[in-house]
Amino acid sequence: MSGDPGQTSVVPPPEEVEPGSGVRIMVEYCEPCGFEATYLELASAVKEQYPGIEIESRLGGTGAFEIEINGQLVFSKLENGGFPYEKDLIEAIRRASKGEPLEKITNSRPPCVIL
């Protein structure tokens, strides 16, 4: 048996060192449209997965809910007509944090549900 106390087998994966560090997200949303709550919900989910991430918001035009990662537009409600799924945004952040190329998110959930 090796009794060397200098060796350890528990090494955290690189993404757990500072999850999301080096990734900057900007969300532009329409406040009069009531999209602030959606932004806050999305920001909370992102921060839970990636505590080291920078996420900011700014007010946008009517109907806007646009998301940029490191300056690249990855989602546009104006183009898609809905809001992004959290899993798609989390995947885009994962790719950005690993330096992989980003693709535009084209899936979207409807802005409201009629019962």
CATH number for position 44: 3.40.30.10
Dihedral angle computed from the Cα positions of residues 20, 57, 41 and 69, in that order, rounded to the nearest 10 degrees: -40
Check residues 5 and 56 and name the one with the higher pLDDT: 56
Indicate the pLDDT class of residue 105, thresholds 50, 70 and 90. Answer: very high
Helix (H) or strand (E) holding 66: strand 65-69
Asked if residue 106 has pLDDT above 60, the reply is yes
Question: Into how many domains does the chain fold?
Answer: 1
Q: Is pLDDT above 60 for 4?
A: no
CB atoms under 10 Å from CB of 43, counted, come to: 16
- Reduced to 3 states (helix: H, G, I; strand: E, B; else coil), residue 91 is helix
- Domain extent, residue 30, equals 24-98
> Is position 82 within any domain?
yes
> Does residue 41 fall inside a structural domain?
yes
Task: Compute the average pLDDT of residues 75-95.
Answer: 94
Query: How buried is residue 10: exposed, middle or buried, by Cβ count under 10 Å (0-12/13-18/19+)?
Result: exposed
Does residue 11 lie in a domain region? no
What confidence score (pLDDT) does residue 87 get?
94
Question: Is position 79 within any domain?
Answer: yes
Is there a domain that residue 17 lies in? no
The fraction of the chain above a pLDDT of 70, given in percent, is: 78
Take residue 13 and report the two structure tokens written for it.
């994966």
How confident is the model at residue 112, as a pLDDT? 63
**Lowest mean pLDDT, pick from 12-21, 31-40, 50-59:** 12-21
Residue 112 included in any domain: no
Residues 6+ apart with CB under 8 A from 1: none
Question: Is 42 a member of any domain?
Answer: yes
- Determine the pLDDT at residue 15: 46
Q: Is residue 65 part of a domain?
A: yes
